[in-house]
Structure 1
Amino acid sequence: MKSPLLSIWATAVFLTFLSQSASGKQCVCELKNLDRPFPMDKLDNIGTVASECNRTITPNQMEEVDVLTLGLQRRLEQLKDSMAVLEKEDDGELYGAVSLRIIELELAEVLELMAKLKGITRSRQQLSQATSSELQNMMKEMLNLEEFDRMQVVKKHRENQRIKRDLAICQHGLQVTPQPPTPARGHCPQGQLVSVSGPRTYALTQYGTSYPYGAWGKDPKPPPGKENMHWLVALTSSNVYANYIRQYSSLTTIVLGVGPTDTVIASSNPTTNTIQGPNVVMYGDALYYGCYYTPSICRFNMTARTVTNVVLPQNSGYNNKYTFGYQEGGYTYTDLDFATDESGVWVMYSTPENFGNIIISKLLTDSPPALGKTWRTSLYKFTASNTFMACGVLYATRFLNKETEEIFYSFDTVTGEERYNLKIQIKKMQTNVQSLNYNPQDRMLYMYSDAYILSYDVIFR
């Protein structure tokens, strides 16, 4: 930054000739600065402040928060396991007293970690506010120093930087985002789904426990520049409706709940074309969901912020008619379940003609969207708690207990083969599963469970 600014200062200096000898052997000139001297002290001060900011704010600070969060998660899991053992094996005497003491010590560790995490979070917020103020002051000072730019050196330098940036964006746009593999449905190159491990991610959303219904995930077909973007839809009205999508720049930011960007579908909630039900997905920078109070599928373009839709087949269930079920009841307004896999977007629904059993339709992701080929299954929807697709195979889950969900059913859209004996278990951290979807890019399941977001590794043989 010093080099162009020193050049600016130099342009304000002029040579004025005063006299010259008759012989031409000697000339005398006077150096005059026709402008006020360049304030080098201000420039040096800006450099000092910038260096201090770089020294104060480091990537290790964010990693420290992540490490504490992970440690707290593991301590809570350990405490939960200890409580389960005590409830199962307590003899009311010595064993119970020892177990209670162990639990007391584990709880103390949890409280200590929470206090430390709270303190660090508070200090990071204060640091962020202070840094923002310093940056604003530095920007004002730099604008004042530009008054010395008589030859517009800084302005031309800035224009060159803008052209370079636009060129880089253009070049990046020409490099097509790697697409997920598109094998023939039912034949995954990685093999057959055999297990689910994790959770790898487990965190409460930025909303806290206010909204237990929702969905989250990562676009399997993101536009350039959004490869690491994660999205979140919480049903913020009656646990049924939503009118905006919240996006985060990375997994870390969504876990920590910082820096979200909200994209509004409609100004009021609920209203025409807003979201009804938790089973939504993002694909190709568009959100697919059940339209509010209509038997239609909505496609919301995140860039153009426009909605197009396609009407469901006649008599298709909507508005809480054919829902997923579990041991204690049903998941309300889950008539439509959207899913992504290697080949695109799918939608699952039911009709009275198919006796409330699940129907699978391939969704053509045009604008407006359209329904493609359709398959009818023998799986009664209320016996399943959720579904997802992987390589053209439908997988259904059911509630086993508060700690375990089970993938028990599959339907292959290539062979038409149905299986009810999979017995693939998923470890839960909360009781209910409001939405579940597979991402073929990272081969992970994204779960929304009682206001918590979780992710799991999908293991193929």
Structure 2
Amino acid sequence: MKPLVVVATLCALFTLSQQAPSKDKCMCELTNSEKAFPYDKLGNLEGNAVKCNSDVTSQKARKLQSLMMGLERRLPELAKDIAVLDSENDEQMYAAISLQLINNELWEIQRLMDELNSTTLSYQRLSASATQQLKGMRGKMGELEAYDSMQVVKRQQDNRRLTRDLQECRTGHQHIVQPTRRPRGACPHGKFDNVTGPRVNTAGEYPGSYKYGAWGRDPRPAAGTESWYWRVMLISSNKYGHYVRLYTSLSSLIVGVSTPGNILISPSNPTTNTIQGPNAVMYDGALYYNCYNQDSVCRFNTSTKTVTTVKLPAGTRYNSKSNFCILDECYLYTDLDLATDESGVWVIYTTAQDFGNLVLAKVEDTEPPQLGQPRRTSVYKSSVSNTFMVCGVLYATRYIDRSTEEIFYSFDTSTGEENFNVGVFLHKVSPNIISLNYSPVDQMLHAYCDSIMVSYKVLFS
């Protein structure tokens, strides 16, 4: 009963106050002369702004730029391949290979043109639509500002402008010239931007054999060997190798004509100083690789047939204790990864004291070779499927699926800056990339994929 009594009492009071207000109370009537704020319009504007942000992104702009750069790089390569075809005179054996490469190049250029045309048309429509929406939103924002009768927004804008001017005034009087330093990511080719391909896709003279290995070009070749390629195959249980195989041209590599042939490090496998693991590189006429059963880098001089070693720091993991991995599988004996770039040879490894994170150091080209200052990263070795170096920057890849690998991480050795969101993808011809190395001679990535030799073109902006 009490709620009913309270309601009845309130009704009675309301009736009395309407009829005759008491002398000791003052009653006012508030009338809002302003229009009600249109919250529905503000909600629509927010929705349109979110849609614009999702439609117009920097990734789409980068895609268009990447396609343009890819086409720009492909055309000179096509002209170069045609010149090679004109100059070859080898009873049509290598000429047929070169013609096939030119056909592949033409197909890739046509694909880029088709994708560029469709992307450009799509972006033109998107640009026109976004421009129209922005004009509409600008007009609606002007209408909404009319509801700011107390000039709150205007005052906030004035305050921000004054604060900025004051800060500029302060810093202008205290300006100190900073010492000159190398620009971040400085590279003679430009900034690493993307990877296209694959351009070369061949099994060579041993189709389906020797799953583990490496191949590429010497960044500092001796006179007369500028066009040569090399290949290392692990012929003993995918673990060990004892020679490097040389080819005088890409055509001879594809058809499997090796000249001068195999250069032996030792007569058999495994034995002291032979190759352990697939991560080998050539530099200045020497093969660099993980020494058999040692936490050391071996340098085998192909001219003098001598081997010198570089000892890695105490605690370095070797003998398949810290490998590159994909999902629940790891690549055996990949504890040490050798890489070349514009400056020379690098070794990437892990140590017990670094808890399995990647460490890299320069292998100085001295006599005997020495290890440079180590650089430590915060990326875990087993979460990486491969690494390579470009212009003093370490890049790491990870397995996405059977047809895609992602370059996801970079570490700049000059600044120590790390980036876990590189976002460049490799289209694979085989699920496993056993070794991956960059060649500064032609700006190519050379991948060894389950006995198949594949190359990708590196694009710089």
- TM superposition score normalised by structure 1: 0.62
Does the 8 Å contact 2:298/2:308 carry over to 1?
Answer: yes
Q: Aligned residue for 2:3? A: none
Q: For 2:407 and 2:103, how far apart are their aligned partners in 1?
A: 29
Q: Deviations over 1:105-154 (max 9, x none)?
A: xxxxxxxxxxxxxxxxxxxxxxxxxxxxxxxxxxxxxxxxxxxxxxxxxx
Relative to its length, the structure with more strand (as a share) is 1
Aligned length: 298
Gaps of 5+ in 1: 1-56, 76-182
RMSD: 2.0
Q: For 1:236 and 1:349, how far apart are their aligned partners in 2?
A: 24
**Sequence identity of aligned pairs in percent?**
49
Match of 1:64 among 68, 73, 96: 96
- TM-aligned CA deviation for residue 369 of structure 1: 1.4
Q: Aligned residue for 2:270? A: 270
Q: Deviations over 1:344-371 (max 9, x none)?
A: 1100000111010000101112232110
The runs of at least 4 consecutive aligned structure 1 residues that moved more than 4 Å come to: 68-75
- TM-aligned CA deviation for residue 311 of structure 1: 1.2
- TM-aligned CA deviation for residue 310 of structure 1: 1.5
Letter in 2 for 1:189: P
Q: Aligned residue for 1:304? A: 304
Q: Deviations over 1:48-83 (max 9, x none)?
A: xxxxxxxxx8554432244458879999xxxxxxxx
- TM-aligned CA deviation for residue 315 of structure 1: 1.0
Q: Aligned residue for 1:329? A: 329
1:19-418 equivalence runs, <5 A: 58-67=90-99, 186-260=185-259, 261-418=261-418
Q: For 1:74 and 1:257, how far apart are their aligned partners in 2?
A: 24
Does the 8 Å contact 2:184/2:415 carry over to 1?
Answer: no
Q: Deviations over 1:344-403 (max 9, x none)?
A: 110000011101000010111223211011100001001010000011000000011111
- TM superposition score normalised by structure 2: 0.62
Letter in 2 for 1:309: T
Letter in 1 for 2:209: S
Q: For 1:291 and 1:193, how far apart are their aligned partners in 2?
A: 32
Gaps of 5+ in 2: 1-88, 108-181
The structure with the largest alpha-carbon Rg is 2
Does the 8 Å contact 2:232/2:245 carry over to 1?
Answer: yes
Q: Secondary structure at the match of 1:353?
A: coil
Q: Secondary structure at the match of 1:254?
A: helix
Q: For 2:101 and 2:187, how far apart are their aligned partners in 1?
A: 35
Q: Secondary structure at the match of 1:354?
A: coil
Q: For 1:440 and 1:214, how far apart are their aligned partners in 2?
A: 20
- TM-aligned CA deviation for residue 207 of structure 1: 2.0
Q: Secondary structure at the match of 2:353?
A: helix
Q: Aligned residue for 1:103? A: none
Letter in 2 for 1:211: Y
Q: Aligned residue for 2:123? A: none
Does the 8 Å contact 2:296/2:312 carry over to 1?
Answer: yes
Q: Secondary structure at the match of 2:95?
A: helix
> Given the superposition, is the C-alpha separation of residues 287 and 185 from structure 1 closer, same or farther in structure 2, using an over 3 Å criterion?
farther
Q: Deviations over 1:272-313 (max 9, x none)?
A: 000000011000000000000111110000100000101110
Q: Secondary structure at the match of 1:253?
A: helix
